[in-house]
Chains A and B, each alone.
Chain A
Amino acid sequence: MDLEYQLIIPEFVMAGLAVVIIAAALAFRNVDQKWFGYATAVGLAIIAIVTAVAYWNTNDDFGTVLAVDHFTVLFRVFFLGIAFFTVLAAVQFAGDRLKNHAEFYGLIVFATLGMMLLAASRELLTAYLSLELLSFSFYILVGFNKLNPFSNEGSLKYMLLGAFSSALMLYGISLIYGVTGTTTYSAIGPDVVEGTRNIAAQLASFAGGSGGVDPDGARPGLLIGLVLITAGLGFKVSAVPFHQWTPDAYQGAPLPITAFLSAGGKAAAFAFFLRLFSEAFLPAAAEWVWFVAILAAVTMIVGNLMALQQTNFKRLMAYSSISQVGYLLVGIVALDAANITQSQDAASALVLHLIGYVTTNIAVFAAIIAFYNRTGRDDIVDLRGLAERQPFLAFAIAAALFSLAGMPLFAGFATKFIIFQAAFNNGFLWLGAIGVTASFVSLYYYLMVIKQMYLYEPEGSDRERFHVSRPLAGALVVLVAGVLFIGLYPTPLFDVIHSSTEGLFEQAAAMSAAVVGQ
């Protein structure tokens, strides 16, 4: 088979960039460390632009394992963007509080590489390996502040539970392989149809009491495999009840890594989730939709209720990100095997919400990093009087929190509107209602933060106004503008997303056309 290596040049370049950054630190010991950060950021930006320009019209496969289609390219650029803003926000933080900067940036690049491969994977083992590349980089990054016990604790918890969830997922993959004899998504798809028919037939024969069981036909292994893979993914995206590692990892990690984990980590896992469930498992939607729906509902409810009682800003954001996962899962629930148009709408709605959420979350964290650079504190009460000391930061945080709560003008309103609408259209009125109620509850704890910033006077010894470094301020302006733009006029972004999700359903469309043809 001829492999077209030019399709995955960006991935090669990323690996090269990481190695070069780490090696450069050995060669140039006397250079100010912040330049490694800026060099990484510039490298990421160049790769993002070149990838967007050179690959947008590509629609090809690398063997049977990677797809380079619109979806892949969209997510490549998206992940590079996340990494770019993370690095930009991290430079001053790393300079003040971390050692071994080049390794820090190199690992961020490796994690990004894992994300890019994950979004492109069309084969279970490739996806698994990409996910591990991503996870291993994160295990180290979370514990990067190695003299801080919280950082160690978070890293250890994250690693142990992450290993456990990887094992679950691998077991699920092996079951799927055992039943279908393949690990490529495109081959699983048709087999899943067959498998579900057989499960139905099996159940019917049990119910009928005839006892005539076809030994080839019985495939409950498929269902168990699906459940295990979903559980493993649940760990990675931190859906309730698989979320316990999240608050500790978020609190322990250095702030820029918390941002990266909550944005990039989630986005990558959801790219995987979406591609897997729409390319391979969509025909079996009737089998899994109910437990994903329950997962979504529980995640939204528990995430928001737990967030209510947090006093640490990072932990608050951890639970807030868990509840956002619930909203994103609503998009998976809205996939409908029988209606390809509806499925594609749901997938686009999910990606739109994902992009809106990630933009908003990076904005929150960039602002908090700027605050932390000055004060070294991250409890909610420490934000007191921020509106007096640094009005722009306070405004950015307030805007982003309102967006997370789904208030108008900001991204969260439009994207939640569209994703809940997708669930309503698929007949999940109750799930949408829970979602709307949950985001109403979330307004309370976001307002508590906003109240600290705007209502009270600054306290403590440090009450002066302060400045935000220029790259960070610039990044914040861009992010807040992005949040407003998505909130007010999501059409162009949605069009781009919609053209990229089309490829996910080609096979399902062909199959349903074939069914109609019979």
Chain B
Amino acid sequence: MDAGEALLLLLLIPGAAMLLTILVPSRHANVVRWIALITTTATLIDSIWIFAVYDFAQGGYQFDLQYPWIENIGFLGENGISLHLAVDGIAAPMVLLNGLVGFAGVLVSWKITHRVKDFFILFMALFTGVYGVYIGQDLFFWFFAYELAVLPMYLLIVIWGSTNKEYGAMKLTMVLVGGSVLIFVGIFAVFAEAGAGTFDMAVLRDIEFGRGFANTFFPFFMIGCGVLAGLFPFHTWSPDGHVAAPTAVSMLHAGVLMKLGAFGIIRLGMEILPAGTDFWMPVLLVLGGVAAVYGAISAIHQTDLKFVIGYSSVSHMGFVLMGLGTMNNIGVNGAVLQMFSHGVMTALFFAMVGGLYDQAHTRDIRVFGGLVRKMPLFVIFFGIAGLTSLGLPGLSGFVAEFHIFVGTIDTFPLFAALGILSAALTAIYVLRLMGRAALGPFNPRWENLKDLSRWEIAAAIVLIAPIIAMGIWPDPFIDRIAPTVAELPNIDQIGGLFTLSSLTGR
């Protein structure tokens, strides 16, 4: 498969939309909205196409595309810095995830009226940056895209956010950029150590770095990227940032951006410095396990809806990091599945909370009650997200977490128990939330609430479809992810165990 232009389009379409939006006079808010919707529709179609066409029988990197960018200057040799794009079986679902969440994000942002033009310009910058990280195959470009994805968050939160937004925005930006300082130093070290005069990951992957070097610089990538994935103890920016951010930004942020962190650990850490995994991955697993339990316990204590979901994100990203930490094929497979599953699920969560908050102007769980009477659709969709979150079989969360626990039992049984415990804790806060806010006695204060708007319903459907699809038929995902994961360096193969894909005879 060699249609790399499809990947280029993922960058060009939103990039062009950004420029086009700049040219539209700011009084034509609807023009801006429609440009954004058409753009994200186009990228969604492109993303689906890439996901569908990715040839899993062949595996490996596909859609390879490379243009020279900055080369043969100074210390840079041939293809020193290039626009090198490709996807593997891990990136393909992530591309699809970004397409889905971006599309849904535009739908729920339809009701934004304050400085619409600026909002969508920044939104598109962030959206492009995220795609760049998933498909970039050059460290310079990768880092460029990573920063591009992080930076607009500051303005997006500070202008359109709520609840303590200045604090949340600054904290988020400083912590994330602080993490990227580590990545930056790590990239330099890798470049200098390799001495190949290129930032091309395809070249760097083939270079064997010594164990001492890898052990020294692996944590630069693990912590630098891990910060974005809510790695304990650097996770506190995440709930604050989520709460402060406007709905669509929370969606992209928890849904897609946090996955960049876990993705970065795979791309930079596991693929380029495999010699460092022996020492560091158990550490990651422990920290992930702590985050899973700690996030769940914190979520139980919260009264603000968004804080509940923010801490729940920390907890679920803890599962992802645990899965990566197992370093066996099933655990890592589960981590990638969880990245996708949590991405759509949490986006759905935030979309629903946004729909409620815009009418009620509060997110305090204690004042709600019996919302099902006024907002049945809201309760249904919110419930689906909640049930996915607690791992109900038949929904995507179950598939992902099951893989992670199976993988963890094999290597660290104790932590598997811890993980299952935190899944149980998840059930507590999700069910309590549902019981209090959605069901329970009706609070007459909410007499005037209306159900979701059609834009929000559309967004919810777009997000629920993959949750159910993955829950009952995970094969399209596992088919793509499993062979790629199996080819990662240093991965233990635990084939004898029961796996979901073995159920269907593949």
| Residues of chain A whose beta carbon lies under 8 Å from any beta carbon of chain B | 342, 344-345, 348-349, 387, 402, 407-409, 413-414, 417-418, 420-422, 424-425, 429, 432-433, 436-437, 440, 443-444, 447, 450-451, 454-455, 489-491, 494-495, 498
Contact = CB atoms under 8 A, between A and B. Distances in A.
A430 B75 CA distance: 19
Given A407-B147, A424-B189, A451-B158, 14 more contacts: A349-B74, A387-B118, A402-B151, A408-B145, A408-B151, A414-B70, A421-B191, A422-B74, A424-B188, A440-B174, A440-B178, A454-B158, A455-B158, A491-B69
B368 to A, nearest CB: 30
Interface in B108-167: 118, 140, 143-145, 147-148, 151, 154-155, 158-159, 166
A432 B144 contact: no
Contact of B73 (A432, A443, A451, A495): A495
Given A402-B151, A407-B151, A443-B177, A429 B71 contact: no
Contacts of A407: 147, 151
A432 B188 contact: yes
Given A422-B75, A443-B173, A408 B147 contact: yes
B417 interface: no
17 contacts: A342-B75, A408-B143, A413-B144, A421-B188, A422-B75, A429-B189, A432-B185, A436-B181, A436-B184, A440-B178, A440-B181, A443-B174, A443-B177, A451-B158, A451-B166, A455-B158, A455-B166
Counting chain A CB atoms within 10 Å of each CB, the highest count among B144, B148, B189 belongs to B144
Interface string B187-199: 0110110000000
Interface residues of B, dominant DSSP: helix
B6 interface: no
Contacts of B118: 387
Contacts of A489: 69-70
A437 B147 contact: no
B377 interface: no
Counting chain B CB atoms within 10 Å of each CB, the highest count among A345, A408, A440, A490 belongs to A408
A15 B192 CA distance: 47
Contacts, number: 84
Given A408-B144, A443-B174, A498 B74 contact: yes
A341 to B, nearest CB: 8
Given A437-B181, A451-B158, A421 B75 contact: yes
A450 B155 contact: yes
B420 interface: no
A433 B71 CA distance: 24
A447 B75 contact: no
A79 B185 CA distance: 34
B469 interface: no
Contacts of A413: 144, 147
A440 B74 contact: no
Contacts of B173: 443, 447
A402 B173 CA distance: 13
A425 B158 contact: no
Interface residues of B, number: 32
B73 A498 contact: yes
A322 to B, nearest CB: 20
B170 interface: yes
B355 to A, nearest CB: 25
Closest 8 CB pairs of A and B: A345-B74, A408-B144, A494-B73, A408-B147, A424-B188, A440-B181, A424-B192, A436-B184
A173 B144 CA distance: 45
Contacts of A444: 170, 174
Counting chain B CB atoms within 10 Å of each CB, the highest count among A344, A414, A440, A495 belongs to A440
Counting chain A CB atoms within 10 Å of each CB, the highest count among B158, B159, B181, B189 belongs to B181
Nearest to B68: A491
B191 to A, nearest CB: 7
B16 to A, nearest CB: 15
Contacts of A432: 185, 188
Nearest to A451: B158
A336 to B, nearest CB: 12
Given A433-B185, A440-B181, A494 B151 contact: no
B185 A417 contact: no
A407 B170 CA distance: 16
A424 B184 CA distance: 12
Contacts of A417: 140
A214 B501 CA distance: 83
Contacts of B154: 447, 450
A349 B70 CA distance: 14
Interface in B416-461: none
A93 B166 CA distance: 35
B198 to A, nearest CB: 12
A466 B189 CA distance: 49
B74 A348 contact: yes
Contacts of B151: 402, 407-408
B217 to A, nearest CB: 10
